[in-house]
Amino acid sequence: MANPGTATQPWSTLEAVFAANKTFAAGDEIVLRSGYHGAPTVTGTNAGDVTIRPDTGASPKLRNLVVKSGARWVIEGLDICPGHEVPGSGYDATVVEIESSASLITLRDCTVRSALSTRGWTVDNWKDLTMRGIRTAAPSTTLSNNQVETTSFGITTRKTAAFTLVSGNLIKAFSHDGIQSLADDCVFESNTVSDAYVSDSSHNHDDFFQSWSAPVDGSTAVGGTTVYRVTLRGNTFISRTDPGQPFPSNPQGIGCFDGYYEGWVIENNLIASKTSHGIALYGAINCKVVNNTVVENPFDPAGGSTRPWIKIAAHKTRPALSSGNLVRNNISAKPVDAIAGSSTVDFHQTTTADSSYFANPAVFDYSLKATAPAKDAGIETEAPPTDITRASRVQPYDLGAHEFLVSSGQTYAEWLAANNLAPDGSGAGAPGEDPMGDGVWNMMKFSLGLPLAARGYGGRVVTGIHAAGGRRYLSLTYTHPDPAPSGASYQVLTSPDLSRWSAANAVPVSDTVAGGLRTRVVRDAVPIGEDATRRFIRLVVDVP
- Give domain status of residue 5, yes or no: no
Question: Are 126 and 34 part of one and the same domain?
Answer: yes
pLDDT value, residue 408:
61
Q: Do 241 and 106 share a structural domain?
A: no
Task: Report residue 359's pLDDT band, with 50, 70 and 90 as the boundaries.
Answer: confident
Residue 13's pLDDT is: 96
Q: What pLDDT, on the 0 to 100 scale, is given for residue 322?
A: 92
On the question of pLDDT at 88 being above 60, the answer is no
The residue among 77, 83, 92 whose CA lies nearest residue 119 is 83
Separation CA 178–CA 206 (nearest Å) = 8
Tens-place pLDDT, residues 376-407:
999 999 999 989 988 778 888 999 999 886 65
Q: Is residue 131 located within the same domain as residue 240?
A: no
Q: Give per-residue pLDDT as tens, 49-63.
A: 999 999 988 999 999
211-228 pLDDT, tens digit per residue, is 999 776 544 567 788 999
Is the domain of 305 the same as that of 174?
Answer: no
Per-range mean pLDDT, top range of 152-156, 204-208, 510-514: 152-156
DSSP string covering 299-312, please? TSPP-STT--EEEE
- Residue 423 and residue 444: Cα distance in Å, rounded? 17
Q: Which residues contact 39 (CB under 8 A, 6 or more apart)?
A: 15, 62, 63, 64, 65, 66, 85
Residues 532, 30, 464, 95, Cα dihedral to 10°: 160
Q: What percent of the chain has pLDDT over 90?
A: 67
Considering only CA atoms, which of 396, 422, 388 is closest in space to residue 519? 388
What is residue 219's predicted lDDT score, i.e. its pLDDT? 43
CB 293 within 8 A of CB 400: yes
Q: For residue 3, is it within any domain?
A: no
List pLDDT tens digits, range 95-118: 999 999 999 999 999 999 999 999
Is the pLDDT assigned to residue 35 strictly greater than 70?
yes
Asked if residue 430 and residue 391 are part of one domain, the reply reads no
Instruction: Supply the pTM of this predicted model.
Output: 0.79
pLDDT tens digits, 177-224 = 999 999 999 999 999 999 999 876 655 678 999 999 977 654 456 778
Q: Are the C-beta atoms of residues 95 and 114 closer than 8 Å to each other?
A: yes
Q: How far apart are CA 456 and CA 434, in angstroms?
A: 10
CA nearest to 255, candidates 271, 268, 242, 233: 271
Provide the number of structural domains found in the chain. Answer: 3
Kindly state whether residues 400 and 439 are assigned to the same domain.
Answer: no
SS3 assignment, position 225 = coil
Q: Are residues 411 and 392 in the same domain?
A: no
One domain, residues 220 and 134: no
Domain that includes residue 425, residue range: 406-544
Reported confidence tier of residue 31, pLDDT bands at 50, 70, 90: very high
Q: How confident is the model at residue 470 (pLDDT cuts 50, 70, 90)?
A: confident
175 closest CA partner among 120, 236, 114: 114
Return d(Cα 154, Cα 147) in angstroms, integer. 10
Encode pLDDT of 437-462 as tens digits: 889 999 999 999 888 877 788 778 99
**The dihedral sign for the CA sequence 143, 169, 249, 93:** negative
Query: How would you classify the pairing of strands 471-481 and 461-468?
Result: antiparallel
Name the residue among 177, 172, 107 with its Cα closest to residue 146: 107
Q: Are residues 165 and 244 in the same domain?
A: no
The per-residue pLDDT of the chain, averaged, comes to 90
- Looking at 200, 225, 257, the residue that finishes a domain is 200
Q: How far apart are CA 183 and CA 384, in angstroms?
A: 23
Query: Residue 530's pLDDT is what?
Result: 67
Say whether 288 sits in a helix, a strand or coil. Answer: strand
Q: Which of 142, 173, 200 is the last residue of a domain?
A: 200
Task: Kindly state whether residue 448 falls inside one of the protein's structural domains.
Answer: yes
Same domain, 456 and 342: no
What percent of the chain lies above the pLDDT cut of 70?
Answer: 94
